[in-house]
Structure formats: structure tokens, C-alpha cells
Amino acid sequence: MRHSALANGESVIRLSQPEEGELFELDLELELQLADGSSRRERVRVVERVTTLTRSLASQIVEVTLDPERELLLWRPEYGD
């Protein structure tokens, strides 16, 4: 996952699934931390090898947290090694 700012004030978030094999299709929650100290959450549908999101916000994105509540990206001991 990467994010960057464009010259026109928009922010671009790029989510990728670089692993070989079948793609995961999922709804993923993102938490966007903004330069003005605020944050916002949004849920996005990921169905491609690379998903590109463009956002026009009042403040630039400084950090993106994937699955902030650890609903999807959580390893549990019962999963095994």
C-alpha cells in the first residue's frame, strides 16, 4: 500500500496484491490520517491486483492504516503456522 499527493491537491492511495495466485476480494476499511490532525474512515471494495483510489480532501493524507480494527488482517493461533 502506498499513498501520495498530487499537485492539484488530490491524494492517491494504491492498494496492491502482489502475491501470485488467486486474488482476494474483500471490503477493506481504511483510516486516513490528515495533515490537519483529523482522520476519517472509509470502506473500499478490493477486487483487482491493484486498486487505485483518488480522494479530494480539505487536507492532505499523511498516513493510511489498513483494517484499523483488525477485523480482517488478524492472525490467530488457531490458524496454525
pLDDT band (50, 70, 90) for residue 80:
low
- Kind of pairing, strands 2-5 and 10-16? antiparallel
Q: Sort 30 into a burial class: Cβ within 10 Å, 0-12 / 13-18 / 19+.
A: buried
Residue-wise pLDDT for 19-73, tens only, equals 888 888 889 999 999 999 999 999 999 999 999 999 998 888 999 999 998 888 6
What domains can be seen in the chain, in order of their start residue? 2-79 (2.60.40)
- This prediction has a pTM of 0.79
C-alpha–C-alpha distance, residues 16 and 46, integer Å: 9
Q: What is the pLDDT of residues 1-16, one digit of tens each?
A: 788 888 787 899 999 9
